[in-house]
Structure 1
Amino acid sequence: MSAALVLMCGLAFSGKTTVARTIAQTLDAVLVSLDDINDERGLWGGHGLPVEEWRRTHEVARTRLGFALAADQAVVIDDTSNLRLLRDGYRALADAYDAPFILVFVNTPLEDIRERRAEASTSGDRRSVDGAVFAEHAASFEEPQSDELALLHRPGDSLDGLLSDLREILAGRVADRSSTE
């Protein structure tokens, strides 16, 4: 797989990380997780972080993305991508490397997310997100608009179908790029 950027988008606890890992493994892509970067920096976004700390985390992610794209590798960014301006920034970065950009919106119903959050807080299998932090996150979340051409994935949808769509899109874009050179 040559250079490409797949950007995950969705509320916390929507299932993005599971989908991102599958995509990265299937496409033999580099996985860049903003949660992992925060962990490396000794931070946890689930308790709330100042905007400046998120900026630094995104800067680390963009740097890693740039190295991978320059090395002609595909990259999956695992983040909520909750704001249009963040998504547009990653889209512009992909364009700067002449790499295809695909937005994957994991659209999970809030009731499912509530159940997942409750399970996480009791099981200890994963870190939780404070109630106030999640409420602010959900209230400020900007769903992708139709002009963003996001691939939509919902709980119960086939991952095989999503992966097939990704392969088709990437094959078409790569063919389109090579036919103009």
Structure 2
Amino acid sequence: MHNDLKKALEVLKSGGIILYPTDTIWGIGCDATNPEAVTRIYNIKKREDSKSMLVLMENPALLDRYVDDVPEIAWDLVEITTTPLTVIYPNAKNLASNLIAEDGSIGIRFTKEKFTSQLLQRFRRPLVSTSANISGKKSPAFFDEISEEIKEQVDYIVEYRQDDTTPSQPSSIIKLGPGGRIDIIRK
């Protein structure tokens, strides 16, 4: 895993795109503060840039760097969740502008998965995390289900967990609204 971390970091720091395992399914990722890298991911996925992507972080203490005025309920949600949960926060900041939704929001998930946690600790910036598929196609459950088209367009493919066939699911998604309102987007 050490070699994977080193190579993935080099690629991310140079503005590149990685294919990597997450706490849910395999993802395509880049530096969430780099608009050119974000544009490349939209192009790889053939996805409209009006459809925002989420970011992974490993430390909730960093949330204030990327969300202006974090709703109080968010801290409770982050603390009590036991399964992968993406929370859509209002008022995103300090991220690539083409990553932030039209309403100014951003989806953030805190990972506890070994590889991504270590990668994020070393990278010290959020990482784009979007499913490793062409937009509108089925999300791959395992590495072997990722299309060659995706694999050919990334700059580095992480070797760690390529043979893992443990069943996984995309994260649940909730959106925080004014006055502590919570909307369930995906269970």
What's the TM-score bracket when you normalise by the shorter of the two chains?
under 0.3
Q: Taking structure 2 as the reference length, what is the TM-score of the superposition?
A: 0.26
Q: Which has the larger radius of gyration?
A: 1
Say which structure is richer in strand: 2
